[in-house]
Amino acid sequence: MTTTHIDGVSVTTKANVYFDGKCVSHGITFADGTKKSVGVILPATLTFNTGAPEIMEGVAGSCEYKLAGSDTWVKSGAGESFSIPGNSKFDIRVAEAYHYICHFG
């Protein structure tokens, strides 16, 4: 199921802009202190590093991702998610705008 609305959060109005604008996100904080980000990745192939474990939830569009230590690209689209371990990295390639929610663990 695709998340379409997130209620009861505080939103950071200044965007996080990465990779010369190819990834733009906004941080959100829930009443219990849980933090997530909501954003979009424009067509590109990018490498992200993680601190804490993350779950990328696709909201619209699709991507392919490759976890550190793997040679396999895996497709993920709207309504699907994938997990990235903490202190790791992953490659993501996007052919059309990929809208996501990043859940930090």
pLDDT digits (tens, 9 = 90+) for 56-77: 999 999 999 999 999 999 999 9
Tell me what pLDDT residue 97 has. 98
pLDDT tens, residue by residue, 6-40: 999 999 999 999 999 999 999 999 999 999 999 99
Let me know if residue 55 belongs to a domain: yes
**Residues in Cβ contact with 86 at an 8 Å cutoff, skipping those fewer than 6 apart:** 50, 51, 52, 53, 54, 105
Q: Give a yes or no: residue 13 inside a domain.
A: no
Range of the domain at 70: 30-104
Single pTM value for the model: 0.93
> Contact 84/70 with Cβ under 8 angstroms?
no
Tell me how far apart the alpha carbons of residues 60 and 65 are, in angstroms, rounded to a whole number: 15
42 falls within a domain: yes
Say which CATH number the domain at 45 has.
2.60.120.10
Task: Determine the Cα–Cα distance for residues 14 and 11; give it in Å rounded to an integer.
Answer: 9
Predicted pLDDT at 1: 76
71 in a domain, yes or no? yes
Q: How far apart are CA 50 and CA 6, in angstroms?
A: 23
Count: domains in the chain = 1
